[in-house]
Amino acid sequence: MVDDNELERLRDLAVPAPDGEAKARAFAAAMQAFDWQENNSTATQGTAAGLRLTERAQKLWREIMQRKLIATPAITALVALPIAGYAAFEMLKEQPPVIGGNGKITETVADKPVAQKPAVEQPAINEPLAAAPAKEKKADADSERRVEDEAQVAPASPPKPATEVDSLAKREMAPEAMPAPPAAPAESGQLASGGRANAQAPIAAMQSAQAPAGAVADSRLMVQPAPMPADQLQPQEENRDRIETFKTNPVHETTQDPVSTFSIDVDTASYSFVRRSLKEGTLPDPDTVRVEEMINYFPYDWKGPDSAATPFNSTVTVMPTPWNERTKLMHVAIKGFDVKPAEQPKANLVFLIDVSGSMDEPDKLPLLKSAFRLLVSKLKADDTVSIVTYAGNAGTVLMPTKAVEREKILSAIDNLAPGGSTAGEAGIKEAYKLAQQSFVKDGINRVMLATDGDFNVGQTDDDDLKQLIERERKTGVFLSVFGFGRGNLNDQMMQTIAQNGNGTAAYIDTLAEAEKVLVEDASSTLFTIAKDVKIQVEFNPATVSEYRLVGYETRALKREDFNNDRVDAGDIGSGHSVTAVYEITPKGSGAEQVDPLRYGQGKVDNGGVANADEYAFVKIRYKLPNENVSKLITTPVTAANEVKSFDEAGSDQRFSVAVAAFGQKLRDEDQTANFGYDRILEIANAARGADPFGYRAEFLSLVRLASSLGTNK
């Protein structure tokens, strides 16, 4: 037995410092023991020691990448979340928190030195996870932070419903390649399905599973991700709409520029753009507001021609301007001959349908399919339908089929599915080929293109497409365009190819709009009664000092184009109505915006000249559908066309003027800057008249919406 004196002497002796040789021997022995443990351990307690957390995460990621499971950044973001949750779960499974009897969380780490000072307790989140060298601990911490950061990566576009996310995943990776999140033990909680697991969920589950009843989990153990900037959490989806920009028509001085020439426009796409924007709570982009398309959206009861020999009739009215008491409006209304259903020629229609990946939205392909089902129900039994689709390449879905086989046509429509890029040029060529194959002499031969946007494969330049369609137009096959959805809409391309394809351009944003365009207005949409219709107005300098055309900026023609039959212009369908409005300044009214010239002032001496009392002379040129030589209709505008007060004008004239004022106000034009929405509402409501389909009532609601959104009341 050792006495106390010896123990005291041993206690007071200084401990000799180990020499380098001793350190080397100790280190070699430790490494030998470690190697033996690695090679011979039977792992009798639980499972064998696994890889480090960072090594497991890297191994899992490497396996995913080797299988080519990650196809796009969007899918990467989806997969990163379950990986982060899995990493956090595995970390705590190896190193679970232990809650002592005092309710505080202490740390127990398997490889931490046994000798500790029991009196001191440190928060678990701040203590080292292992007794590894400093460099390894830093590397582990960095890797773990990277895993947490990946778990916080926001999706590349605003959040979508689960069905849309699933659809995106199916398009961009094979279904069998979808990685399944690792299953956690039941007692430790489970990761959320769908790749959207919160990285905190496994930790919270572990806490609640291991804590005794009544214990409160220490929030210091929870992973608290750093808040991300709002613009990173939900980045705005890129808007790739292509809208043609244009400047508002200027005021012209009659003595310098007395002639105005333009092509008619029966398109209605602009009104639908405006309606959708307002209903979504935003004022429309001014360049989406084409005033003439808003006016011509509504059916009007203008007086039509008595026979098809004269395809349309014109009505001209001069009235006071509601927004300027010193100017007048010259209102030109054209009404096309309404072909009776029994007299309608046979129709040969080719549905050219965009089924690219971007069409996989509720307001695109699903709405398109419903719209074309409505059109099929309108066709006669001996009409012909073909269907061509285009995505990565073009394909024929339905060869020319008589409409009597309605179920076969509807089945082909119902089976359309989205996917791929947009080979529009190839689709157009294939559609024209089928149209020629089933061409109907003296009938309606038309390609009906339905798309959400660009042609990004093949000929993508608008001028190239224009030339392609111009060539096909000469064969007697016309083309109309129907736009769906937004964010990828190429309105500029739609306008170009519709104008040059002797067709119309419409924008379908709802099923009700589809019914209007393809059912209620089917005759005017499909059956052309006159093509290349141009209007030219010559103003009399003796009675009119200035004038400006409201709208038609994108349809302006040169003066010499009016008599040139090679210049293309707009078409009029069966029963179509077209309206044009000029604001004119009577000579001597004092409302002139252009100062008179001091030197070389233009003067007009009408002494002895005929027609000196006319306001203007309206000329209209047109061609019959199967002819290439134009015909001319003329109308002088005199005091006989004038009404003394605005209220004396017909209800259709007054309503169309209210729409014209609304369009100008949305474009923030100077002429209507001080004309309030309340006055527009008053005029439109008083001129509402018969409104069987509720279009005018809807217009009133849009004016109210614009009034609530606009700063200029």
Query: What SS3 string covers 167-217?
Result: HHHHHHCCHHHCCCCCCCCHHHCCCCCCCCCCCCHHHHHHHHHHCCCCCCC
**Can you give the pLDDT at residue 205?**
41
| 490 confidence band (pLDDT: 50, 70, 90) | confident
**Can you give the pLDDT at residue 90?**
54
| 122 confidence band (pLDDT: 50, 70, 90) | very low
**Strand-by-strand arrangement of the 505-508 sheet:** 394-402, 384-390, 347-354, 444-451, 478-484, 505-508
- 166 in the same domain as 127: yes
Q: Answer yes or no: is 490 within a domain.
A: yes
Q: Answer yes or no: is 76 within a domain.
A: yes
Say what the pTM is.
0.66
State which residues form the domain around 541. Answer: 252-339+529-588+612-709
**Can you give the pLDDT at residue 592?**
80
**Number of neighbouring beta carbons within 10 Å of residue 577:** 22
The CATH code of the domain that includes 397 is: 3.40.50.410
Structural domain count, the chain? 3
- 482 in the same domain as 565: no
Out of 289-298, 471-480, 663-672, which region has the weakest mean confidence (pLDDT)? 471-480
- The 10s digit of each residue's pLDDT in 207-229 is 444 444 444 444 333 444 455 45
Whether the predicted pLDDT of 333 surpasses 50: yes
- The 10s digit of each residue's pLDDT in 182-202 is 444 443 333 333 333 343 443
Q: Which residue has the higher pLDDT, 543 or 424?
A: 543
At which of 204, 233, 262 does a domain end?
233
The DSSP output letter for 363 is: T
Whether the predicted pLDDT of 340 surpasses 50: yes
β-pairing, 478-484 with 444-451?
parallel
Q: Answer yes or no: is 246 within a domain.
A: no
Q: Answer yes or no: is 31 within a domain.
A: no
- 104 in the same domain as 218: yes
Q: How far are the Cα atoms of 402, 406, 663 from residue 412, in angstroms, in the given order?
A: 13, 10, 40
At which of 181, 198, 233 does a domain end?
233
- 84 in the same domain as 195: yes
Q: What is the C-alpha to C-alpha distance for residues 66 and 58, in angstroms, rounded to an integer?
A: 12
**Which residues contact residue 625 at a Cβ distance below 8 angstroms, ignoring those fewer than 6 apart?**
528, 529, 530, 531
Q: What is the C-alpha to C-alpha distance for residues 434 and 449, in angstroms, rounded to an integer?
A: 14
Q: Which residue has the higher pLDDT, 330 or 378?
A: 330
Q: Which two tokens stand for residue 562?
A: 């009016």
- 282 in the same domain as 163: no
Q: What residue has token string 């002429």? A: 671
Q: What is the C-alpha to C-alpha distance for residues 442 and 527, in angstroms, rounded to an integer?
A: 11
Mean pLDDT of the chain, nearest integer: 76
What residue type is 436 in one-letter code? Q
Q: Answer yes or no: is 606 within a domain.
A: no
Q: What residue has token string 């307002």? A: 278
- The 10s digit of each residue's pLDDT in 291-300 is 999 999 999 9
| 55 confidence band (pLDDT: 50, 70, 90) | low
β-pairing, 478-484 with 505-508?
parallel
Q: What is the mean pLDDT of residues 500-510?
A: 89
Most confident of 74-83, 297-306, 611-620, 699-708: 699-708
Whether the predicted pLDDT of 648 surpasses 90: yes
**Can you give the pLDDT at residue 105?**
42
Residue 31, classified by CB atoms within 10 Å of its CB into exposed (0-12), middle (13-18) or buried (19+), is: exposed
| 545 confidence band (pLDDT: 50, 70, 90) | very high
Q: Answer yes or no: is 5 within a domain.
A: no
Whether the predicted pLDDT of 75 surpasses 80: no
